[in-house]
Amino acid sequence: MVPVFFPLQLRTILSNMMFCFTCFQTSNTCNIGDDIQTIALLRLICDTAHENFDEVQYDLSFVPDHMNLSSRVIELCFKAKKGTDSKNSVVVRPVFVERDRYKETCNVDKKYIYGWHQHKIDGGYQTGILRDGEQNVFLSFHVSKELRAYLEKNPTICSQYQKFAPIACRDPGTEQFFKAHNIDAHCTFCITLSMKNAYPNESMQRKKVLYVDANCNSREFELHNKEFLTHANSEFYSWTCSRRLNHAQNLLDEYACAAYVVTSRIHCALPCIAFGTPVRFVNSDGNPVLTPTKSDNFYAPERLEGFIDLFRLNNQDNQKVVGQFCHAIRSNFMAAIRVDMEKSSSVWSEKIAECSSSLKSILENFS
């Protein structure tokens, strides 16, 4: 999985604000789950802008192949809003930059950094992400086992993250890693849990069972229409950014309307939970994953910790609490992004801490 940076600029008449998002470069990854995380954050920014600005516009001129973005992606991620108050307007300008080559990234005022980090480039990790003078906002951030080992051996580089604290982490393991190094961090879980079902009516007519990178080794769904999908394909390497985003949104629409989903991909399972779609998280052989597996990086504790309970308890009996959990993630992320747009760094810290605390309180209801 190789995400890349996706800078996003918000301009108002009163001030200029630059935001960088993580997106996923076509030539560097075969995993469409990376793009699903980008879609989730784009939708959050779009919804937040619509709630807080009278007029919202998008400048897609820096997006490669932007003319081929589907109407569905435009509607959910780049939807313009016409207003009457020109003093309360915003222009969103996305620019794609490769994540694993931070030192080559453009100079920007701010970066939102999220998702899985990080692959080695040219035999080492890129640390340009921590460039002095930039404002880096870590949101739904995961530090891989390999990167943790590198930071352990390089405490000076690790300490630089303190400049950008608090770190909003995707999982408890990343939160614990930073706290062990005296860096303020809070677990806010994955941003894909924030997505709303864009087909609330159609989802009531669920008929199809989807197997996403999972084997069908059960007769449980014999009477249902079945379809087999994948998040990983070598063809994705050559796809343009627009084509990848289109495909990611098409998959999300499939998950939103499915009767049931069986998957080994966390960025299929988590959106399903957010959409209210029944989902079973399994390994590649089709067997349920009830605990992380230390011997398998794909199901390693540092990657799945905090999500296993959601996968296990996402059933009819706990539907209300799971829905409350996802709603809290969405509302808290939007509140944090809003105050960040307003350049209120102290309020941002408070919102991230509040988000983490409220989510932990909700999860306690599961036990």
User: Could you give the strand order of the β-sheet that contains 89-94, starting from the edge strand earlier in sequence?
Assistant: 16-23, 4-11, 89-94, 55-58
**Within this chain, do residues 174 and 265 fall inside the same structural domain, yes or no?**
no
Chosen domain end from 192, 222, 251: 192
Q: Which residue has the tokens 């390693």?
A: 300
**Within this chain, do residues 185 and 204 fall inside the same structural domain, yes or no?**
no
Q: Is residue 33 part of a domain?
A: yes
The confidence score (pLDDT) of residue 52 equals 83
**Within this chain, do residues 204 and 121 fall inside the same structural domain, yes or no?**
no
pTM higher than 0.75 for the full model? yes
The confidence score (pLDDT) of residue 97 equals 65
Q: Is residue 365 part of a domain?
A: no
Number of domains in the chain: 2
How much of the chain is in helix, strand and coil states, percent to nearest 5? 45, 20, 35
The confidence score (pLDDT) of residue 5 equals 38
Task: Write out the residue range of the structural domain in which residue 232 sits.
Answer: 194-326
pLDDT in tens, the chain (367 residues): 333 333 333 332 223 333 444 443 334 678 888 889 889 988 988 898 888 888 888 888 777 788 999 999 999 988 988 877 767 787 777 766 666 665 555 555 567 778 888 766 666 666 545 666 666 778 888 888 888 888 898 888 888 888 888 888 988 889 999 999 999 998 888 999 999 888 766 556 777 899 999 877 666 666 568 889 999 888 888 888 888 899 999 999 999 999 899 998 999 999 999 998 989 888 766 677 666 555 555 556 566 777 777 777 666 666 777 888 888 888 888 877 777 666 555 566 676 777 677 666 766 665 5
**Within this chain, do residues 266 and 308 fall inside the same structural domain, yes or no?**
yes
Q: Is residue 343 part of a domain?
A: no
Query: Do 292 and 298 meet the contact criterion of CB atoms below 8 Å apart?
Result: no
**Within this chain, do residues 175 and 211 fall inside the same structural domain, yes or no?**
no
Query: Do 183 and 167 meet the contact criterion of CB atoms below 8 Å apart?
Result: yes
| 345-364 and 319-341 helices, crossing angle to 10° | 180
**Within this chain, do residues 148 and 219 fall inside the same structural domain, yes or no?**
no
**Within this chain, do residues 16 and 119 fall inside the same structural domain, yes or no?**
yes
The confidence score (pLDDT) of residue 285 equals 67
**Within this chain, do residues 115 and 214 fall inside the same structural domain, yes or no?**
no
**Within this chain, do residues 261 and 178 fall inside the same structural domain, yes or no?**
no
- Specify the DSSP element, H or E, that contains 355: helix 345-364
Q: How long is the chain? A: 367
**Within this chain, do residues 47 and 144 fall inside the same structural domain, yes or no?**
yes
The confidence score (pLDDT) of residue 298 equals 58
Q: Is residue 355 part of a domain?
A: no
**Within this chain, do residues 177 and 241 fall inside the same structural domain, yes or no?**
no
Tokens of 94: 């996305």
The confidence score (pLDDT) of residue 18 equals 37
DSSP assigned state of 281? E
Q: Could you give phi then psi for residue 347, rounded to 5 degrees?
A: -70, -35
**Within this chain, do residues 47 and 178 fall inside the same structural domain, yes or no?**
yes
The confidence score (pLDDT) of residue 301 equals 57
